[in-house]
Chain A
Amino acid sequence: MDRAVAIQVSGLTKTYDAHTAVSDLSFQVYAGEIFGLLGPNGAGKSTTLRTIITLLTPTSGTVSVLGHDTVREADAVRRLIGYVPQERAIDRFLTGREHLELLGALYHLSKAEAAKRIAELLKLVELEEAADRPAKTYSGGMKRKLDIACGLLPDPKILFLDEPTLGLDVQSRLRIWDYVRMLKARGMTIVMTTNYLDEADQLCDRLAIIDKGKIMTLGSPTELKIGLGGDIVSLTVKDQSKIPTLVSALTKQPAMRAVKATPTGLDIRVETPEKALPAILECANRLDCQLEFIEYHRPRLDDVFIAHTGRSIKDEVLVQKEGV
């Protein structure tokens, strides 16, 4: 398959003093796709994104965007991309329209051209009525929409979204997803970071799972799920002291592909449930291990994440939030 490459990242490393944020990252983003960088906070996805959009200089390695080097031809890159930052990068004293007018001047648009684009964008993100109110009167969802309009103002070839739906209510979230799908339909290449697995699953054509500054795996959500091999049976065990015995007993069974202890029970990857389930129940009975709950599911992106990083992304997010 010969697809046009929009972004080429080769051997990208970024270190801060002693700390290595990303280490020897290489990947490509194809023109017209939605590419996701998925990982817990601090995994290096924001650093990767910031390097691609010329905010950071790589310690080593190169990044090229539509053929332009992000260090040597930073201005050329900046003219081709739009960026929607993670923080609500809004000046609360300016109105929505003034935000867009300011950016219009910074992209060197003529007054007439800027006015035309601004009218279109305000319509697109449904902010026409609120356009002349200061941004401090906007709701979280409205600010996000303004953020996206700002990112789209230069009419970019590639749009970068950093955690586009972080902290948004469900409705705003779905609305943002709609925009992203619509932009892709118009032929725009989109690169986004997220720590929501469902978001990555729903939106991304391909995604890279990043952890501790390295790409753990890369592919389409379906490929990644298939790549795990087999469906998953999760057991919740009543007496947790019996977990190790059950693990070692089940590991020997031929129908089990992989058996892993969890805090409350076991995660078992199985070839087919028809063969595996009776074997699991028989084994549990024989060891006098009472099961509280049995769950069977096709692999989810959750499982892909756990398989490649050794932990659940949700735990990570929770820990991060509590830490703040």
Chain B
Amino acid sequence: MSNYWQEISALTMRWVRRLSREKFSMLFTLVQPMLFWLIFFGNLFKQAANAQVTQAPDYISFLTAGVVVMTVLNNGLAGGVDLLFDKENGFLERLMTTPIHRTSVILSRFIFVMTITSLQVLVILGVAFLFGVQPATGLLGIAVILMIGMLFGVGLTAISMAMAFSVKSHGDFFSVLGFLSLPMIFLSSALVPLAGMPAWMGFLARFNPMTWAIDAVRPLILSGWTEALPHVGMVVVVMVVFDAVCLYGSAKVFCRAMG
């Protein structure tokens, strides 16, 4: 057990080191969702968005939940990238010839991605706070938001790592990533509530796990516990199923890749 812990902490530290050496890219990953979506998009649509449709005091406070979950989505989907590079330059092989538990590398990646995502979510909530968005459910609500983010993130990171192990080239990986990410965002309640969408888009958005996550995070920020709790209960169920499917699928891919 202490061996296992030694492996995982050393591997996790490696991801942290890598990130800290890539200052430029770190800045971008951290700042991009806040700057691009929350500040620009949120303020841009201040007048254009109809408060009757969004059911929120202003568009930024409506959008905050969406940006939080979008960050989880993007971090999760990109969670396998470093493993992809490790696979391509042979570093992964080097790791696999050491007497480590085969799951250590994967687990270290989960820990790293979840930690970074949580930090980012906190920063986003902080920036939103500066624009006057006060989470209605307080600190406990923020903790629940982080939990929902992690539940969603685990499944996404699993998909991403499975993709990293199975794609032929990293070009393929990034194409799939680009193809998945934006439709997932547009076909969810991130930018517009389901009720305000064209019927067919609203229909599709219902099958997007992201919608469920957003619909639970949003009342935690906007309304309060009574409104939020049923949604939170629901999202936990949805995410457990989602994670189970993703983890099962990626475990199979992982086993085959290691054979």
| Interface residues in chain A, defined as those with a beta carbon under 8 Å from any beta carbon in chain B | 50, 53-57, 75, 78-79, 81, 83, 85-91, 93-94, 98, 101-103, 105-108, 134, 150, 154
CA distance A89 to B87 in the complex (A): 9
Kindly state whether residue B234 has any CB partner on chain A within 8 Å: no
CA distance A91 to B91 in the complex (A): 7
Q: Are A89 and B90 in contact (CB under 8 A)?
A: yes
Chain B residues contacting A85 (CB-CB under 8 Å) are 90, 93-94
A99 CB to closest chain B CB, in angstroms? Answer: 9
Kindly state whether residue B205 has any CB partner on chain A within 8 Å: no
Chain A residues contacting B97 (CB-CB under 8 Å) are 53-55, 78, 81, 83
Q: Are B93 and A108 in contact (CB under 8 A)?
A: no
Chain B residues contacting A88 (CB-CB under 8 Å) are 89-90
CA distance A88 to B85 in the complex (A): 12
Kindly state whether residue B201 has any CB partner on chain A within 8 Å: no
Chain B residues 7-37 with CB under 8 Å of chain A are 7, 9-11, 13-14, 17-18, 21-22
CA distance A86 to B10 in the complex (A): 24
Question: Which of B7, B91, B93, B94 neighbours the largest number of chain A CB atoms within 10 Å of its CB?
Answer: B94
Kindly state whether residue B47 has any CB partner on chain A within 8 Å: no
Residue contacts A-B, CB under 8 angstroms, 25 given: A53-B97, A55-B96, A55-B97, A78-B97, A78-B99, A81-B97, A83-B93, A88-B90, A89-B93, A90-B89, A91-B91, A93-B17, A93-B18, A93-B21, A93-B22, A102-B13, A103-B98, A105-B6, A105-B7, A105-B9, A106-B10, A106-B11, A106-B100, A108-B99, A154-B98
State whether A75 and B99 are in contact (beta carbons under 8 Å apart), knowing that A88-B90, A89-B91, A94-B18 are contacts in the complex. Answer: yes
B94 CB to closest chain A CB, in angstroms? Answer: 5
Chain B residues contacting A150 (CB-CB under 8 Å) are 94
Query: Main SS of the interface on chain A?
Result: loop
Q: Give which listed residue, A89, A105, A134, contacts B94 with CB less than 8 A.
A: A89
A157 CB to closest chain B CB, in angstroms? Answer: 14
Chain B residues contacting A106 (CB-CB under 8 Å) are 7, 10-11, 95, 98-100
How extensive is the interface on chain B, given as a class? 20 to 34
Q: Are A107 and B99 in contact (CB under 8 A)?
A: yes
CA distance A216 to B147 in the complex (A): 60
CA distance A86 to B94 in the complex (A): 10
Q: Are B90 and A86 in contact (CB under 8 A)?
A: yes
Q: Give which listed residue, B17, B96, B259, contacts A98 with CB less than 8 A.
A: B17
Chain B residues contacting A75 (CB-CB under 8 Å) are 99
Question: Which of A55, A75, A91, A98 neighbours the largest number of chain B CB atoms within 10 Å of its CB?
Answer: A91
Kindly state whether residue B175 has any CB partner on chain A within 8 Å: no
Kindly state whether residue B3 has any CB partner on chain A within 8 Å: yes
Chain A residues contacting B3 (CB-CB under 8 Å) are 108
CA distance A87 to B17 in the complex (A): 22
Residue of B nearest to A53 (CB): B97
B87 CB to closest chain A CB, in angstroms? Answer: 10
Chain A residues contacting B9 (CB-CB under 8 Å) are 105
Interface string of B123-157 (1 = CB under 8 A from A): 00000000000000000000000000000000000
Chain B residues contacting A105 (CB-CB under 8 Å) are 6-7, 9-10
CA distance A87 to B87 in the complex (A): 11
CA distance A80 to B21 in the complex (A): 33
Chain A residues contacting B89 (CB-CB under 8 Å) are 87-90
Chain B residues 72-102 with CB under 8 Å of chain A are 86, 89-91, 93-100
**Known pairs A78-B98, A102-B11. 16 more at Cβ < 8 A?**
A50-B93, A55-B93, A55-B97, A81-B97, A83-B94, A86-B90, A91-B91, A93-B17, A94-B14, A101-B10, A103-B94, A106-B7, A106-B100, A108-B6, A108-B7, A154-B98
Chain A residues contacting B93 (CB-CB under 8 Å) are 50, 55, 83, 85, 89
A102 CB to closest chain B CB, in angstroms? Answer: 5
Question: Which of A54, A93, A106 neighbours the largest number of chain B CB atoms within 10 Å of its CB?
Answer: A106
Chain B residues contacting A90 (CB-CB under 8 Å) are 89, 91
CA distance A85 to B91 in the complex (A): 9
CA distance A134 to B21 in the complex (A): 9
Q: Are A107 and B18 in contact (CB under 8 A)?
A: no
A59 CB to closest chain B CB, in angstroms? Answer: 10
Chain A residues contacting B7 (CB-CB under 8 Å) are 105-106, 108
CA distance A86 to B90 in the complex (A): 8
CA distance A103 to B96 in the complex (A): 11
CA distance A107 to B96 in the complex (A): 11
Chain A residues contacting B90 (CB-CB under 8 Å) are 85-89
B164 CB to closest chain A CB, in angstroms? Answer: 16
Chain A residues contacting B86 (CB-CB under 8 Å) are 91
Q: Are B99 and A102 in contact (CB under 8 A)?
A: no
CA distance A125 to B19 in the complex (A): 28
CA distance A98 to B90 in the complex (A): 17
Chain B residues contacting A57 (CB-CB under 8 Å) are 259
CA distance A229 to B96 in the complex (A): 44
